[in-house]
Amino acid sequence: MRAASLERLAWICLAPALLWMLLWLGLPLGQTLWLALKEPGRLAALALDSRFLSSARFTLGFAALSVLLELILGLCLALALARPQPFAWLWRLCLLIPWALPAAISAKAFAWLFNFQFGLANLVLKFLGLSQSGVNWFATPAGAWLALLSLELWKTTPLVALLLLAGRLQISQAPYEAASIDGANDWDCLRHITLPLLGPLLVVAAVLRGVDALRIFDSVWVLSGGGPSGATESLSYLAYLETFQFGDAAAGARVALMMAALVAVLALLMLRLGPLAREERP
């Protein structure tokens, strides 16, 4: 009885927040779903739509590559920063700067870095004598990928590094001491102590970043405009074009729905198959 009334109270207290969420999340979500599903035939036709498929390929490939590199770089940074050293707080603070900058601003900055006539990238290449006239970065898919990838890595590796740094600092010194007594070197410690104990956090970082990377929009919009010839057109950019540039909200909703499904499936897979799944079982 007491528990039941407590629960009722909890629902009453939650109600305003729930209603608010329903209004601003539930309604638009419902409408998007309805828009996307009202012509099931056209939703199915996406499976054969070359533009949608090429966007999906880019989105998946780019997310996979960028998250993988972020995890590796982030781990290296985290392990370097975990060592006791002077001004440790300062280095950790510096790490936050790229993450704290608004996405559109860092994208604009990178657009200038890779600008053909005035960009720093070409200045350096010319100075080193590697290129006579500079590289026209956004003219080839490889160049556009490189520019986008460097922006994404610069912007989001700090988040991964901080997450992993927190995890590394949680691990006590005891297993390392025991291992060193047994004659383990640094590499053995990394393989058999650090990585297994960081496992769950690595998965969390991968899921967080993976979901985020699959939504990539601002960098594409500012930096490459989806070019050259659609080679870097992401799903969210395509959904934006359909909805706001072509004025076809239903087409945009279909792309958005497929994207949401993709994100959900991948996130579930990562949570089910990784080290986190083991913890769930009693």
Least gap, CB of 245 to other proteins (angstroms): 5
User: Within positions 5 to 24, which residues make up the interface with other proteins, using CB under 8 A?
Assistant: none
Least gap, CB of 109 to other proteins (angstroms): 15
User: CB burial class (10 A; 0-12, 13-18, 19+) of residue 25?
Assistant: exposed
Least gap, CB of 202 to other proteins (angstroms): 31
Position among 228, 262, 267, 271 found at the interface with other proteins (CB under 8 A) = 228
CA angle 224, 227, 233 (to 5 degrees): 90
**Is residue 275 at the binding interface for other proteins, with CB under 8 A as the rule?**
no
**Is residue 33 at the binding interface for other proteins, with CB under 8 A as the rule?**
no
Please state whether the peptide bond connecting residue 141 to the residue before it is cis, i.e. omega within 30 degrees of 0: no
105, 107, 115: which is closest to 124 by C-alpha?
A: 115
User: Within positions 114 to 143, which residues make up the interface with other proteins, using CB under 8 A?
Assistant: 115-117, 133, 136-139
Q: Dihedral sign for Cα 152, 153, 159, 164, please.
A: positive
Stretch near other proteins under the rule CB under 8 A, chosen from 110-118, 156-164, 202-210, 261-269: 110-118
In the bound state with other proteins, the residue whose beta carbon lies nearer, of 5 and 245, is 245
Least gap, CB of 246 to other proteins (angstroms): 5
**Is residue 247 at the binding interface for other proteins, with CB under 8 A as the rule?**
yes
Using CA atoms, how far apart are residues 170 and 157, in angstroms rounded to an integer?
20
In the bound state with other proteins, the residue whose beta carbon lies nearer, of 10 and 104, is 104
**Is residue 241 at the binding interface for other proteins, with CB under 8 A as the rule?**
yes
Least gap, CB of 230 to other proteins (angstroms): 7
DSSP states of 18-67 = HHHHIIIIIHHHHHHHHHHHSSHHHHHHGGG-HHHHHHHHHHHHHHHHHH
Q: Do 277 and 204 contact (CB within 8 A), yes or no?
A: no
- Where do contacts with other proteins occur on this chain (CB under 8 A)? 115-117, 133, 136-139, 217, 225-230, 240-241, 244-247, 249
